Amino acid sequence: QLSGKTAVVTGSNSGIGLGIARAMAGAGADVVLNSYTDSEEDHQLAKELGEEFGVTARYIKADLSKGEEARGLIEQAGACDILVNNAGIQQVSPIEEFPVEKWDAIIAIMLSSVFHTTAVALPMMRKAGWGRVINISSAHGLRASPYKGAYVAAKHGVVGFTKVTALETAEEPITANAICPGYVLTPLVEAQIPDTMKQYGMDRETAIKEVILERQPSKEFATLEQLGGSAVFLCSDHAAQITGTTLSMDGGWTAR
């Protein structure tokens, strides 16, 4: 279905990024994995993905907190038919105590990098005559929670930038959309469980159902396979007129 296309997925040595990269490879796309780490395991991961799905898979290091490296990632990839902006981090602090360097890092990695990668990828998509931009926002791109100021600001920003990207490409065979997951069980969320258990004096299961999934009416995590499947759907011909919008995968969170 996607053979001959190259998908660049930012922040894809773990979690949702890796899940989406796997789904893209499963649909026949060549994939570029990315993170800021450049470890042996990162390159091994790409090698295994390529072998498992019979596609070309490469790992390219780029620290997306730096604009030039974000641009360099797409330049080094050489082709980018499908751009998935996924890299992200989290920080939970009240506004007046929010560490300034964390604010700057979150805005750089999760918002500015989306501008940089898109700016380099769009000319490539135009030349190729086809393109898909998929930005991983969040339910927090549509709703807020206290103590997640930078994350909520960045994710709302990504939704706005996705709409601009869609309008600037509206008459071309290029679409831009944001996927807005609720909670997905990845290392990012896993890391929040012990703190939540401690803070509320709860066991793991109770902390998950009553605190973490409190706002997710389904009381279930979205899965990596579901995220990957939706990203592949957005690349399909059926989705050609879906542009500038958000696809919520949040078990009903934003229905409230």
Enumerate residues 196-255 that contact ligand NAD by CB under 6 A.
none
Q: Which residue is nearest to ligand NAD (CB)?
A: 15
Catalytic residue, from 36, 147, 151, 200: name it.
151
**Beta carbon nearer to ligand NAD, 166 or 212:** 212
**Residue 124 binding ligand NAD, by CB under 6 A:** no
Phi, psi of 39, deg, nearest 5: -90, 170
Q: What number of other Cβ atoms are within 10 A of residue 7's Cβ?
A: 31
**Residue 16 binding ligand NAD, by CB under 6 A:** yes
Catalytic residue flag (residue 151): yes
Which of 211, 185, 183 is CA-nearest to residue 197?
Answer: 211
Which of 137, 43, 24, 35 is CA-nearest to residue 81?
Answer: 24
What is the SS3 assignment for 1? coil
CB-CB contact of 251 with 217 (8 Å): yes
CA 154 to CA 54: how far, in whole Å? 36
Enumerate residues 139-168 that contact ligand NAD by CB under 6 A.
none
**Residue 64 binding ligand NAD, by CB under 6 A:** yes
Which of these ranges, 92-100, 126-134, 182-190, 195-203, lies near ligand NAD under the rule CB under 6 A?
Answer: 182-190
Per CB under 6 A, residues contacting ligand NAD are: 11-17, 35-36, 63-65, 86-89, 109-110, 136, 138, 181, 183-184, 186-189
